[in-house]
């Protein structure tokens, strides 16, 4: 168990448009999901923590109005990149923490590569 999916796996969009990325925990429930951004040859950078039924908590420097997060159910969180620009091009990865776990283990999705032209 502990499978996390992301959709789409890759997306190309024009500058100024919005893109929605879905993150689903397939075989477990997750009260908390996380959104990361990763640049080439770099580590994962936490963008925000998504809590089911409440507002997301954003890391310092991450614009909450630009990166909209919704966690409407125990198995789904979405990240919407609004008015995307070329500098938003990156690899976005979500992770989920199992509801029954008292540990810190996070299970990651396969990632979404966003290219803004």
Partner 1 sequence: GQQLNQSPQSMFIQEGEDVSMNCTSSSIFNTWLWYKQDPGEGPVLLIALYKAGELTSNGRLTAQFGITRKDSFLNISASIPSDVGIYFCAGPPNNAGNMLTFGGGTRLMVKP
Instruction: Examine residue 71 and tell whether it contacts partner 1 (CB under 8 A).
Output: no
In three-state secondary structure terms, 87 is helix
Decide whether 7 or 82 has the Cβ nearer to partner 1: 7
Exactly one of 24, 37, 71, 97 binds partner 1 (CB under 8 A); which one?
A: 97
3-state secondary structure of 54: coil
Nearer to partner 1, 31 or 70 (CB): 31
Nearest distance from residue 2's CB to partner 1, in Å?
8
Give the residue from 104, 103, 79 showing the smallest Cα distance to 93. 79
Per-residue b or e along 72-95, where b marks 16 or more CB atoms closer than 10 Å to that residue's CB: eebbbbbbebeebeeebbbbbbbb
Minimum distance, C-beta of residue 80 to partner 1, in the bound complex (Å): 19
Whether residue 78 contacts residue 70, with contact meaning beta carbons closer than 8 Å, is answered with yes
Residues forming the site for partner 1 (CB under 8 A): 4, 6, 32, 34, 41-44, 46, 49, 91, 93, 95, 97, 103-111, 113
């Amino acid at each position: 168990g502990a499978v996390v999916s992301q959709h789409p796996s890759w997306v190309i969009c024009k500058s100024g448009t919005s893109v929605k990325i879905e993150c689903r925990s397939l075989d477990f429930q997750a009260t908390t999901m996380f959104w990361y951004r990763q640049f080439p040859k770099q580590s994962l950078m936490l963008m925000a923590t998504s809590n089911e039924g409440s507002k997301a908590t954003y890391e310092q420097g991450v614009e909450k109005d630009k990166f909209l997060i919704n966690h409407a159910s125990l198995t789904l969180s979405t990240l919407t990149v609004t008015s995307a620009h070329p500098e938003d091009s990156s690899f976005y990865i979500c992770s989920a923490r199992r509801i029954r776990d008292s540990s810190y283990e996070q299970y990651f999705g396969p990632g979404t590569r966003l290219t803004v032209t």
